[in-house]
Amino acid sequence: AGSQIQGTAGSPRRSRRRKSVAIAYEPGQGDGAEPRRARWEPRDWREQLERIREMRRSRDAPVDEMGVQKCYDSSAPPQVMRYQVLLALMLSSQTKDQVTSAAMLRLRRRGLTVDTVLQMDDETLGQIIYPVGFWRNKVKYIKQTTAILKQKYGGDIPSTVEELVQLPGVGPKMAHLAMHIAWDSVAGIAVDTHVHRISNRLKWVKKETKHPEETRVALEDWLPRDLWKEINWLLVGFGQQTCLPVNPRCSQCLNRDICPAAKRL
């Protein structure tokens, strides 16, 4: 494999590095040594990021006060805490943070553990979590996932993204956030609707992406790994307060002069 990568003068290179080298040294610059990091980066992204941090400094968005990281009992045993994190994530899908937080509070008042949920009938569970989005489906997924956790993981939650996404009702965004919050491990970027929308507006993706999972792959290709954990919290709150889905508040945004999608007022 090494000889293929090296190649000979004038022969086509078949390794993935070829594209990076061509981009890095066009037109005719460089001394032939391949740079350590020759990859695409969005224009102005560092300045945009700093300005978003500035706008998020007050930490007063719904995600800050009622996000999943605030929904579990921090005094519970670690295994119970991790289960509560996963449940909050399952409830949060297509649901406002305020509604998820209230549902989690009602569940915790009943004693939120694997065993208490397994002992609860579907009707009772549904009444407690209502009105979270798609609550009927979530009742089914919560019961199925909780049974799997009891049988396969001794009541704990899996510690890898690959295992987490195999659980009923658990998608990639939830899995990455579960790794961040429950296991304090950064396995990837958690991309929800806010991160997906804002990444496309700022052109933090090389070409437009249609789905959050595409956005995750595109972001992870260039964003420094030490920012992966921060980016979800940062962009979710920014999307809740300023970069709204409809009628974004461009006039209030510090990035309005360097945002490709800004409405010029």
Amino acid at 236: V
Q: Which of 19, 138, 143, 173 is catalytic?
A: 173
- Helix, strand or coil, per DSSP, at residue 3: helix
State the virtual CA torsion across 53, 59, 65, 71 in degrees, nearest 10.
50
Q: Is 170 left (phi over 0), alpha (psi -120 to 50) or beta?
A: beta
Active site residue 19: no
For the residues of 128-196, what is the DSSP string, one character each? HHTTSTTHHHHHHHHHHHHHHHHHHHTTS--SSHHHHTTSTT--HHHHHHHHHHHH----S----HHHH
Its sign, for the CA torsion 72, 77, 78, 79, is negative
Q: For the beta carbon of residue 214, count every other beta carbon within 10 angstroms.
A: 17
Phi-psi region of 111 (alpha: psi -120 to 50; beta: other; left: phi over 0): left
Cα distances from 123 to residues 129, 172, 199, in angstroms, run 10, 28, 40
Query: Measured between alpha carbons, how far is 206 from 50 in angstroms, rounded to an integer?
Result: 20
Q: Which residues carry out catalysis?
A: 173
